[in-house]
Amino acid sequence: MIAVIGEMSLSFIPEGDKWIKKFSGTGYEWALKLKALDSVVLLTVLPMGECGKEMAECLIDNGIVFDPDMHSPLNPAIKVGNEYFLRGSAPLTLSAEKLSDALTYFSDIRKVVVSSALLSYNPSASAVLDALSFASPQPKVAVDNSSPLCPGSNESLLEKTLSSLNSAMGECLVSDSESEILGFLR
């Protein structure tokens, strides 16, 4: 099993007199790519309510497992260009306890892909580092370093977390190349 630790969002784009629903996010996109290789669990914070239900149904329809205990209240929509994004109040805030519990529950996880956006944001950086450091057996870890930094993120924290992750994990790859990450996970 492959775990993906990353973000997922739901957005709506106006098209004529209709609104088109779109799911996105580094975590969601990796989960879709990796499900052809193995079973996938997406460890992400889903918003509560109807929006979270839509996202959960999308994951189920795509055969992607998720942890229903990782959720947060829904924030108001954010407009970017002509697209309206709906996310939980803490899409980049993972709990170390819930992440560790998920890695323990899904005991057959052997490979992990992590979005660098989470590693540049506190407290998610330490939660991911702690959970992966104590995972048994130690999984192979690939960090997708192509994720853009978002407001509130910290580039020096990202560098420090990547350094700690490299020394704590047996096998760790940090790359912004999709093909390199896929090759590492095969």
Q: What is the pLDDT of residues 6-36, one digit of tens each?
A: 989 899 999 999 999 999 999 999 999 999 9
**C-alpha gyration radius of the chain:** 16
Q: What is the pLDDT of residue 146?
A: 87
Q: What is the pLDDT of residue 33?
A: 96
Q: What is the pLDDT of residue 69?
A: 87
Q: What is the pTM of this model?
A: 0.90
Predicted confidence (pLDDT) at residue 42 exceeds the cutoff of 70: yes
Q: Which residues of 168-183 are buried (b: 16+ CB within 10 A; e: fewer)?
A: ebeebbbeeeeeebbe
3-state secondary structure of 151: coil
Q: Among residues of the chain, what percentage have pLDDT more than 70?
A: 94
Q: How far apart are CA 78 and CA 10, in angstroms?
A: 11
Q: What is the pLDDT of residue 89?
A: 59
Q: How far apart are CA 43 and CA 170, in angstroms?
A: 21
Q: What is the pLDDT of residue 131?
A: 92
Instruction: Give me the residue spans of the domains in the chain.
Output: 2-185
Predicted confidence (pLDDT) at residue 85 exceeds the cutoff of 90: no
For the domain bounded by 2-185, which CATH number is listed?
3.40.1190.20
